[in-house]
Amino acid sequence: MYRVRRWVVRHARVFEMIYRRFEPVLVKLAPVWRRLGHERVEAPVRRVEKAAKGALFDCQMCGQCILSATGMSCPMNCPKTLRNGPCGGVRADGHCEVKPEMMCVWVDAWEGSRQMKQGDLIHAVQLPVDHRLTGSSSWLRVVRQQDASSSSAANRETTR
Amino acid sequence: MKFDDEPVPGYSLPILPGHVSPGRLERVLRAGKFAITSEIDPPDSADPAEVLKRAAIFDGYVDAINATDGSGANCHMSSAGVCSLLTRVGYATILQISCRDRNRIAMQGEILGGAAMGACNLLCLTGDGVQAGDHPQAKPVFDLDSISLLQVARNMRDEQRFESGRRIETPPRIFLGAAENPFVPPLDWRPLRLAKKVAAGAQFIQTQYCFDIERLRDFMLKVNDLGLLEGPDRVFILPGIGPLASARSARWIRENVPGVHIPDAVIARLEGAKNQKEEGKRLCMDLLNEIREIPGVSGAHIMAYRQEHSVAEIIEATGVLEGRVPWYPGRDDPKALNPESPEALSL
């Protein structure tokens, strides 16, 4: 919901902290996910993820979440699905060019990122979306990635 | 300024040391000259002569011509088509690709095709939303955004790889550009966002229309502080300007064209004038004179939609080319080619 997601962005720092606690728990449970089988847990985890992130961020389940690099404002709510910042069409009042009734997702993202400890992640160049991952669980993807490279702690991707 | 290897129409120039493209725009910018670019409004027509006619308006006044790609989300002849026609007679062109209309497969193909046709400057754009144009019922694609497109294009050139990783035999030798809009929110992010574009591969920037010189000055100061105007990976910035036809049209643009910021003072100045069209041109000249004095500015991009003939007048009046006559077909040998003739196309 629009109002909820804007409230979340205003409290981006709190959500950043929650996520930082939540991620290691998910990763620690890696053996459990493995035993149950990733394919079998994908559907229930996806449902939980969709419900939780849908309610809070209007998550569109792109499957490659970058919320922690976007001030907790989901870039997939941008009508142009931009992943690297605002377009040049932002209105003088900060609203969207395509949907004038909506605040620009990236104006919100900028505000949110300024509150976050790792807010400067917003300056990282994001790769194009892999559309094969649309609809899949971003959480499990990160668990799998970190599980696979658990020995090398460097360059760890974060769960969002 | 003349090069000793001025173009043979249809053939690429040699690539100079430290350059990425055989293009004249890169040469002029790296030589430290104040560069002028302008844009063609592609015709709603399949007539090649119409394209050459529109380009000839700028003869002797511009270093490169942008061919817009469905600007304002309106359907016109493609940018690649216009560039291909123009490069055949030797013009320097800037191919525009907007992420709105094509996915990454089509865009990468276009980059190769454009480079093969001699379009050696590429402007990577996000594009206006489809709601702004004449086909609001169209599907907006946005598979990539302008920054990921820049990165893909740079990897095609420097790594000789498609986005998939597959190898490209002969890479496109292109000078990479992007747009920026220093005049709309979030203002404090805009210089940093430019840094992101440079990190992704942008080498030149053409901005949205500038009518607010203070905002541009502020932006340029910050861009300079970020160190983006130095070193081999520096970026060249060409602010966009253009003549407003009247106070009424200025108001219309402000309300209907996404991302154009026109301060009230500008509209008041037009309103107070006897001849608003003349005043619009004078305003554009004043802006150009102010812009060229801003440290770090490398040139200007003149967008004179439906007033293309005024570009020459604006450049003459301000003297920004400092006596330079950019190459155009027939500059050195007037008898050689009449670019408006159909024979010019049969090269």
Residue extents of the structural domains in chain B? 24-244+292-333
Residue A58's identity, in one-letter code, is D
Partners of residue A126 in chain B, C-beta under 8 Å: 147-148
| Closest in B99, B132, B196 to A125, CB measured | B196
Smallest Cα distance from B256 to chain A, Å: 10
A157: in domain: no
Partners of residue B128 in chain A, C-beta under 8 Å: 89, 97
How many domains is chain A partitioned into structurally? 1
Region B40-51 average pLDDT:
96
CA B320-B325-B326 angle, 5° bins: 100
A80: in domain: yes
pLDDT tens per residue across span B24-34 = 999 999 999 99
Partners of residue A107 in chain B, C-beta under 8 Å: 185-186
Partners of residue B199 in chain A, C-beta under 8 Å: 125
Q: Do A97 and B258 touch (CB under 8 A)?
A: yes
Q: Do A98 and B185 touch (CB under 8 A)?
A: no
Rg (CA), chain B: 19
Instruction: Check residue B3 and give its pLDDT.
Output: 74
Partners of residue A84 in chain B, C-beta under 8 Å: 145-148, 196, 200
A112: in domain: yes
Helix (H) or strand (E) holding A19: helix A12-28
Residue B110: how many other CB atoms lie within 10 Å: 19
Region B47-52 average pLDDT:
97
Smallest Cα distance from A15 to chain B, Å: 22
In angstroms, the Cα distances linking A96 to A66, A80, B70, B178, B182 are 21, 10, 20, 21, 16
Report the SS3 class of residue B317: helix
Q: Do A127 and B185 touch (CB under 8 A)?
A: no
Region B315-339 average pLDDT:
85
Q: Do B186 and A126 touch (CB under 8 A)?
A: no
State the best of B100, B149, B184, B188 to mutate against chain A, taking most chain A CBs within 10 Å.
Answer: B184
CATH of domain B24-244+292-333: 3.20.20.220
Residues 6+ apart with CB under 8 A from B18: B30, B232
Q: Is the pLDDT of residue B170 over 90?
A: yes
A16: in domain: yes
Smallest Cα distance from A139 to chain B, Å: 23
Going by pLDDT thresholds of 50, 70 and 90, the confidence category of residue B5 is confident
Q: Do A84 and B147 touch (CB under 8 A)?
A: yes
Instruction: Check residue B191 and give its pLDDT.
Output: 98
Q: Do A82 and B181 touch (CB under 8 A)?
A: no
The DSSP letter of residue A75 is: G
Q: Measured in Å, how far apart are chain B's first and last C-alpha atoms?
A: 27
Quote the distance between the C-alpha of residue A15 and its chain's center. Answer: 11
Strands B204-209 and B121-125: unpaired
Report the alpha-carbon distance of residue A58 to residue A56 in Å, rounded.
6
A56: in domain: yes
Helix locations, chain B, DSSP H: 24-30, 48-56, 79-88, 104-116, 146-158, 190-200, 213-225, 247-256, 264-271, 276-293, 310-318
Going by pLDDT thresholds of 50, 70 and 90, the confidence category of residue A123 is very high
Report the alpha-carbon distance of residue B54 to residue B42 in Å, rounded.
8
A-B contacts (CB, under 8 Å): 99
Q: Is the pLDDT of residue A124 over 80?
A: yes
Region A68-72 average pLDDT:
96
% pLDDT > 90, chain B: 90
A35: in domain: yes
B148 against A146, higher pLDDT: B148
Instruction: Check residue A147 and give its pLDDT.
Output: 80
State the best of A70, A80, A98 to mutate against chain B, taking most chain B CBs within 10 Å.
Answer: A80
Residue A35: how many other CB atoms lie within 10 Å: 8
Residue listed under structure tokens 């489809």:
B130
A158: in domain: no
pLDDT tens per residue across span A42-55 = 999 999 999 999 99
State the best of B145, B198, B256 to mutate against chain A, taking most chain A CBs within 10 Å.
Answer: B145
Q: Is the pLDDT of residue B116 over 80?
A: yes
**Which residues does B contribute to its contact with A (CB < 8 Å)?**
99-100, 104, 126-129, 131-132, 140, 142-148, 151-152, 163, 179-181, 184-186, 188-189, 192-193, 195-196, 199-200, 208, 258-259, 261
Instruction: Check residue B343 and give its pLDDT.
Output: 53
| Closest in A85, A97, A131 to B196, CB measured | A85
The whole domain housing A45 covers: 2-148
Quote the distance between the C-alpha of residue B124 and its chain's center. Answer: 10
Q: Do B259 and A127 touch (CB under 8 A)?
A: no
Chain mean pLDDT for chain B: 94
